[in-house]
Amino acid sequence: MKKVLITGGTSGFGKACALYFVERGNYCIVTGRRTERLSELKDEIDKKFGPNKIEYLTHDVRDRESVFKDFEKYDDIDILVNNAGLALGLEPAFDTNTDDWDTMVQTNISGLMYCTRAILPGMVKRKKGHIINIGSIAGTYPYPGANVYGATKAFVKQFSLNLRSDLQGTNIRVTNVEPGMSESEFSIVRFKGNSKAADKVYENTKPLTPFDIAEIVYWATSVPDHVNINAIEVMPTSQAWGPFSITRDE
C-alpha cells in the first residue's frame, strides 16, 4: 500500500485519481477548497471500498502558510499528485481580466511549488517518492486565448525537468503528465459556469475522460522503481495540432 496525496481532488482528474488509487489498495489524502465535495468523495469511497481508505484536507494551495502547516504531518508520502490547477477565460491578452491571470499563476505555479516544497523533504529523507505534476499540452502547443494558462503549464513542464536534476541520486521520481482535450469541469471553470460554452468545446468529439488520465497517472507510478517516466503527452484521437496560422494581406 502506498500513501498518495492528491491536490485539487474535488472533481475531474483529482477525484478520478483518488478513486483509481484506492481501488488498487492505496491510501489517499485528498485536498481541495470545497469541503462538501471532499466529504462526498470520502462517503463514496467508504461505501465502495470500506472505511479508512481516504482522508481529506480543506485548503487553498495558493495559501503558502496553510500548505506548509497542513502538510507538516505528512512526512511519509509515497506519491504526490500535483493536480490543483485551472484555466480562466479565452480572451486575447489585450482584452483579458488580469485577476484571472493572477489566479492562474497563483494556483498553477505558486500552489504547485508550495505543495512540492512541503512534501519533498520527507521523500528525500526516506530516499523514495514520486512527484506527479499535471501539466497540459498547452505548455507545448500555443492556441488563441491560452496566453497565461499555457505559460503556467510551460512552467510546470520546465519545473518538472529541473526537479529531476535537483533530485538526482535521491531515488525520487518526477513525471509531468500533459493531457489534451479532456471532458471534466475544466471548461465550466474556464467559462465561469457557462455550461453551453463548455459543452461546445466537446461537441461531436470523443475527448479524454478523467479516468483515462487517472489510469495513466497510476501506470507511471507502477513501473519498476528504477524506471522514471519523464513526461507523458496524451491527446484524444480526435485532437491533433494544425498548420501555422498566416495572415495574408488582401
pLDDT of 187 above 70: no
pLDDT of 221 above 70: yes
Q: What are the pLDDT digits (tens) for 84-107?
A: 999 999 999 999 999 999 999 999
What does the pLDDT average to over 144-148? 95
Confidence of residue 197 (pLDDT cuts 50, 70, 90): confident
% of the chain residues with pLDDT over 70: 97
Confidence of residue 188 (pLDDT cuts 50, 70, 90): low
pLDDT of 180 above 90: yes
**Mean of all residue pLDDT scores within the chain:** 94
pLDDT of 78 above 80: yes
What does the pLDDT average to over 165-170? 98
Q: Where are the domains of the chain?
A: 3-178+210-234
Write down the architecture of domain 3-178+210-234 according to CATH: 3-Layer(aba) Sandwich (3.40)
Q: Is 20 a residue of the active site?
A: no
As given in the structure block, the three cell numbers for residue 47 are 461505501
User: Catalytic residue among 20, 56, 114, 149, which?
Assistant: 149
What's the pLDDT score for residue 167? 98
